[in-house]
């Protein structure tokens, strides 16, 4: 699910970047904020940080005594993406394993669909392994699959989420070819 949120972060501008012209200072603050935003990648509460939409307010700077750097409180709006239990989403298969498949869904690289959560499908080994059911519906590399989120786990060290999903409900599974 996409979330729109308002955040307040502190942006530190090095002393050598300070200029008497206010426009250069604003540019330095925005560039540093965008850099910090990209490095943070994701948070446990908000999910993956996708886009900074608007800067609402740049507060008054405070000089740090020992370094001379200036700290500015910045309030801005952003869009993020986070999985929620019970949510129906679509992902693309990028790995087929005997125990299930790994999908990508938006910025999330590790969405696991276990073979036990796709009851009608059987594993077919080979050079390009697939899962196939009696109706010749195939789950293979590159196929889009609609799924329901069973659970999501935040990994602090990697700053990313992993998810367990299933296709055990109506209108879920590989998307029909158009």
Query: Which CATH number covers residue 68?
Result: 3.30.1490.120
- Do 106 and 36 fall into the same domain? no
- Do 148 and 121 fall into the same domain? yes
Give Cα separations from 69 to 12, 52, 66, 145, 150 (angstroms): 7, 24, 8, 50, 46
- Do 68 and 19 fall into the same domain? yes
Last residue of a domain, one of 63, 81, 99: 81
pLDDT single digits (tens) 67-125: 888 899 999 999 999 999 999 999 999 999 999 999 999 999 999 999 999 988 999 99
Torsion of CA 170, 175, 176, 177, to 10 degrees: 170
pLDDT at 19: 63
- Do 124 and 142 fall into the same domain? yes
- Do 122 and 76 fall into the same domain? no
φ/ψ (deg, to 5) at 22:
-65, -30
Q: How many domains does the structure of the chain reveal?
A: 2
pLDDT at 27: 84
Cβ atoms of 3 and 82 within 8 Å: the answer is yes
pLDDT at 86: 95
| Total-model pTM | 0.83
- Do 40 and 97 fall into the same domain? no
pLDDT at 23: 53
Structural domain containing residue 155: 88-174
- Do 60 and 94 fall into the same domain? no
- Res. 28 pLDDT band, cuts 50 70 90: confident
Cα torsion angle, 81, 83, 89, 92, sign: positive
Check residues 15 and 92 and name the one with the higher pLDDT.
92
Give yes or no for residue 172 having a pLDDT over 60: yes
Last residue of a domain, one of 45, 63, 81: 81
Residue 8 tokens read as: 């307040």
- Do 94 and 160 fall into the same domain? yes
Mean pLDDT over the full length of the chain: 91
Instruction: Give Cα 141 to chain centroid, integer Å.
Output: 21
Last residue of a domain, one of 35, 66, 81: 81
- Res. 177 pLDDT band, cuts 50 70 90: low
- Do 31 and 71 fall into the same domain? yes
Check residues 28 and 150 and name the one with the higher pLDDT.
150
- Do 106 and 145 fall into the same domain? yes
- Do 122 and 99 fall into the same domain? yes
- Do 141 and 67 fall into the same domain? no
Domain CATH for 152: 2.40.50.140
């Amino acid at each position: 699910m996409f979330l729109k949120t308002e955040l307040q972060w502190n942006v530190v501008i090095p002393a050598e970047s300070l200029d008497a012209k206010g426009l250069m200072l604003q540019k330095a603050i925005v560039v540093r904020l965008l850099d910090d935003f990209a490095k943070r990648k994701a948070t446990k509460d908000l999910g993956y940080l996708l886009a900074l939409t608007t800067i609402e307010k740049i507060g008054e700077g405070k000089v740090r005594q020992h370094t001379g750097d200036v700290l500015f409180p910045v309030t801005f709006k952003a869009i993020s993406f986070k999985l929620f239990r019970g949510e129906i989403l679509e992902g693309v298969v990028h790995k087929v394993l005997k125990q299930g498949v790994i999908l990508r869904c938006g910025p999330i690289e590790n969405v696991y669909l276990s073979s036990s959560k796709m009851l009608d499908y059987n594993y077919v080994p080979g050079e390009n392994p697939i899962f196939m059911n009696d109706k010749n519906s195939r789950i293979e590399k590159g196929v889009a699959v609609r799924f329901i989120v069973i659970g999501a786990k935040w990994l602090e060290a990697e700053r990313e989420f992993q998810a367990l999903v299933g296709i055990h409900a109506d209108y879920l599974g590989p998307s029909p070819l158009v």
